[in-house]
Chains A and B, each alone.
Chain A
Amino acid sequence: RKEVEQDPGPFNVPEGATVAFNCTYSNSASQSFFWYRQDCRKEPKLLMSVYSSGNEDGRFTAQLNRASQYISLLIRDSKLSDSATYLCVVILVTSGTYKYIFGTGTRLKVLA
């Protein structure tokens, strides 16, 4: 079983739609959680951190459910510029080392 699993998509949505992505992780030693964004043929960039209390940044809301080992990202009022691959990332801490594990990503296409 992969350590971080995501639905690869693609999710094709019209402009203005609300879309949600999910991610599950298998290792309960996972300590910190993030969403990164990767544009086509570009490097990944941090989108936002994910907390149990939930956090919001403009149109983006992230949520963590530790009991279910599940992370979500909600995008409201989708823009064309939101088209990208969204990567779920966990930091696995073992014996004092910090390993960033990336999911394979969920592709989003926002259509005009």
Chain B
Amino acid sequence: AQTVTQSQPEMSVQEAETVTLSCTYDTSESDYYLFWYKQPPSRQMILVIRQEAYKQQNATENRFSVNFQKAAKSFSLKISDSQLGDAAMYFCAYRGSSGSARQLTFGSGTQLTVLP
């Protein structure tokens, strides 16, 4: 079974600064998909960004970008110009391309605090 590891249970960043959240995964597949979700205190799960493994170019969505290192099986999320509204739990998720691996597997999450 695939595993997704987020080794930083908690992180903090000063408002307007940049922070990087780490995620690694274990897989034997070559074709897969990676996602970052955000869960603010409202409990709603919100898609932040996604990346296809076959794409070499790193995905970006406004202030959010990823550093996808396929050989290292690493998928980190960079938040630039951090805002108070970015404070949330962030989950990394993996989806494989065949069988039961097609269902999303989530990491344990990183709680991000944004300091004013």
| Same assembly | no
Q: What residues make up the interface of B, taking CB atoms closer than 8 Å to A? A: none
